[in-house]
Structure 1
Amino acid sequence: MSDEQSQRGRWGQPGTSQGPGQLGQPGGQSRPGSGPAQPGGPHYEGKPPPPPPSGGGTEDFGTGPYGAPGPAGQGGAEGGPLPGMPPLASLGRRLVARIIDWLIIYIPMALITLPLVDTDDYNTVGNWGTSLLGVLVYFVYEALMLTSRGQTLGKMAMKIRVGMLADGAIPAGGPGWIRAAVYSLPQLVYCLGQLFWLVNVLFCTWDRPFRQCLHDKAAKTVVVEAH
């Protein structure tokens, strides 16, 4: 079974099905001694109906894993690639959200560290230290915001959010920190880090069907519209 087929089962499609010949289904037979089946469903004499099968069913995602109605088969044009998933966030809104976050972090950082910056020679310890500080502050800011509510201030402004690909939950704990780390920390590696960052942020432009960047794939997250 492919990964996408496996995901579809978790996004609200029934994981088990009942074939013909079972009690109360067309072609089925009543249990001996139980009398004829009653209209509207099977007849269970003196016994409660059996519980639904566990695992893979729709009981956990009755309203869709992202909180929106999500009966099986309603992915695609009016929603995300999987049933119950809201539409994927557009690349333009994701970019503007990043720009807002950069401005929120780096404008105050520039004002605070300006006395330490040597404009005549950028290859100084002071300049390198301010760059390191900026990357670490952005990393911690994003990780804390994602693990607490699945949105940074920029994403809140653009009405998009990050959710776990499997069920739409907030990426609390490890996934949120992993996502933030893969986005920010490689920039600390001179030259190669910047190259990786560029490939990372552009990856969502050709990734299908979830438009994930590399930091999304590492954390198993997806960016969708927020309701």
Structure 2
Amino acid sequence: MQIYLARNNVQAGPYTLEQFNQILATNQLLPNDLMWHEGLANWQSVGDTVQNRTHYNPTATDEPDYIINNTPQPAEPVQEEKKSSSIWDKYNANNPHKTPKNNEKPSLFKTEKKDMDIAHANKQLTLAPIGSRILAKLIDFGLMVLASSPLVIALMNSPSFDKIKTMAEQGVTQLSTAQQMELLSVVPQHILVLTNILVWGTLFAQMLLLMKRGQTLGKMAMGIRVLDINSNAIPNFLNLIVLRSILPILAYSLSAFGLAFLLVDFVFIFMNEDRQSLHDKLAKTYVVVADDTQINPLELKPKA
């Protein structure tokens, strides 16, 4: 018997039954990891299949009738906790198991959502609450304000502060290069250097966290993560940093157009079942409740 395992859409194996039992006995598997072997109609969770035992010994009497007879059986709908939202619930309720042909191992992933198999349904990724996303943005914005605080404090205590108040009262939202240079000319050089270090250091740390974990500091605090909507993995640099981060920031900075884009970007979250903002749609990403298995794919090494 050859047993295949999968975690976060990353497949491992095949393993012999003896190797699988060694892995099982050393607690290397999570209940929601997936497994498949000949005789199973489709990918199933380890917890449901082994029933919390430390030794697995599949027999014909252990298998449901629909598996023994090689007859497809509709999947049971998964009971969802109140106030949770899983994008795969409708597939659990509507999609039947697909019986492998000629003992062929079923595919773990599909490219079209309408063809998603039970592996994705069992994954039960939960969409991040909108409130958590807003708070995460506010935390990130607050960190940038904090990083800029040496410059802000220096300007408030400088002779140029009256000019800044006058321009704000006049509704000036953008300064020319000459005006910026005039305001900064009264700020001590060491304050400018410190502010640059803090701001660029914060930006670099945020970008590094996004690339490694799909999270900013704000998202880490709120327990949410950005994932690729097709693979449920950390998105690539182009989608995550360029399309999802840099491009929206540039759009937001465009005065009246930026404000309009910000509003449309936010409203868009309520207009689709995956709660994707406009920049999520562009980058093919979505935001889910963070789970360690999303950045810790299955890497099992059974004992020799």
Match status 1:193 vs 2:258:
yes
In 1, Cα distance between equivalents of 2:274 and 2:212: 23
The structure with the greater share of residues assigned to helix is: 2
Query: What's the CA shift for 1:97?
Result: 0.9
Deviations 1:121-171 (A, max 9, x none): 2334339x99xx9xx968766544322210001110111100000011112
Match status 1:224 vs 2:274:
no
In 2, Cα distance between equivalents of 1:207 and 1:85: 21
Partner of 2:180: 126
Cα pair 1:139 1:181 within 8 Å, conserved: no
Match status 1:57 vs 2:57:
no
In 2, Cα distance between equivalents of 1:51 and 1:26: 10
Note closer, same or farther for the CA distance 1:26–1:154 as it changes in structure 2 (3 Å cut): closer
Which of 144, 148, 152 matches 1:105? 144
Cα pair 2:138 2:218 within 8 Å, conserved: yes
Deviations 1:64-90 (A, max 9, x none): xxxxxx971874xxxxxxx52411000
Query: What's the CA shift for 1:223?
Result: 0.3
Partner of 2:226: 162
Counterpart AA for 2:266: V
Counterpart AA for 1:208: N
Partner of 2:237: 173
Counterpart AA for 1:98: K
Which of 78, 85, 88 matches 2:127? 88
Counterpart AA for 2:210: L
CA RMSD of aligned residues (A): 3.9
Note closer, same or farther for the CA distance 1:104–1:26 as it changes in structure 2 (3 Å cut): closer
The structure with the greater share of residues assigned to strand is: 2
Note closer, same or farther for the CA distance 1:113–1:52 as it changes in structure 2 (3 Å cut): farther
Query: What's the CA shift for 1:176?
Result: 0.9
In 2, Cα distance between equivalents of 1:169 and 1:73: 15
Note closer, same or farther for the CA distance 1:139–1:220 as it changes in structure 2 (3 Å cut): farther
Note closer, same or farther for the CA distance 1:167–1:219 as it changes in structure 2 (3 Å cut): same
Q: Sequence identity of aligned pairs in percent?
A: 28
Note closer, same or farther for the CA distance 1:189–1:25 as it changes in structure 2 (3 Å cut): same
Note closer, same or farther for the CA distance 1:126–1:113 as it changes in structure 2 (3 Å cut): farther
Deviations 1:163-198 (A, max 9, x none): 000011112311111100233110221211111112
Query: What's the CA shift for 1:199?
Result: 1.1
Partner of 2:77: none
Counterpart AA for 1:163: L
Please report the TM-score for the alignment, with normalisation by the length of structure 1: 0.58
In 2, Cα distance between equivalents of 1:51 and 1:156: 43
Please report the TM-score for the alignment, with normalisation by the length of structure 2: 0.44
Partner of 2:301: none
